[in-house]
Amino acid sequence: MKTQLLFKNLFDEALKEWPEEISFGDLTRYNTPDGETGYSIEGFLGFPDEIEHRYLNHQDEVIMLGIHYRIYNILGYAAKDFLKVRLQDLRPETVQKEFEDHIKSGLENPKKLKWNSEDVQLVKDYFAVNYSAEK
């Protein structure tokens, strides 16, 4: 079994690349052009460049950046209601569900996400490892 593709191992590895705790600044509410409510959080403006650059063009890019972006999105949701979040308190199953929904959409339309055949195979291997009959 390719244990390096087990979600728990990938998630634990991803968390090592984030600070233990993230404090959020002032929250500003705004209306989007389509009438939705949005929030801007001081000090939480964009995905961490150092994480993104570490995985761009890396063989595990679609997996690791996929997990990191899901962590980032969940932190963004949390910032609306919390002043700080300890990353060890994130629910792995929530990150996993959002991550897997994302990569399933990539399998359905790899061109949309600019995946190559190696990316598609990596994602198929991920699902084979995490949802094998051995579990």
DSSP assignment of 43-101, as one string? T--S--HHHHHHHTT-TTHHHHHHHHHHHHHHHHHHHTT-SEEEGGGS-HHHHHHHHHH
**How many structural domains does the chain have?**
1
Note the pLDDT tens digit of each residue in 43-74. Answer: 666 677 888 889 998 999 999 999 999 999 89
pTM of the model: 0.84
Domain presence at residue 134: no
Note the pLDDT tens digit of each residue in 104-134. Answer: 999 999 999 999 999 999 999 999 999 875 5
Domain that holds residue 32: 3-129
Domain presence at residue 135: no
- Alpha-carbon distance of 89 to 68, in angstroms, equals 15
Neighbour count for residue 68 (Cβ, 10 Å): 22
C-beta of residue 99 within 8 angstroms of C-beta of residue 131? no
Domain presence at residue 122: yes
Domain presence at residue 106: yes
Residue 92 has pLDDT above 90, yes or no: yes
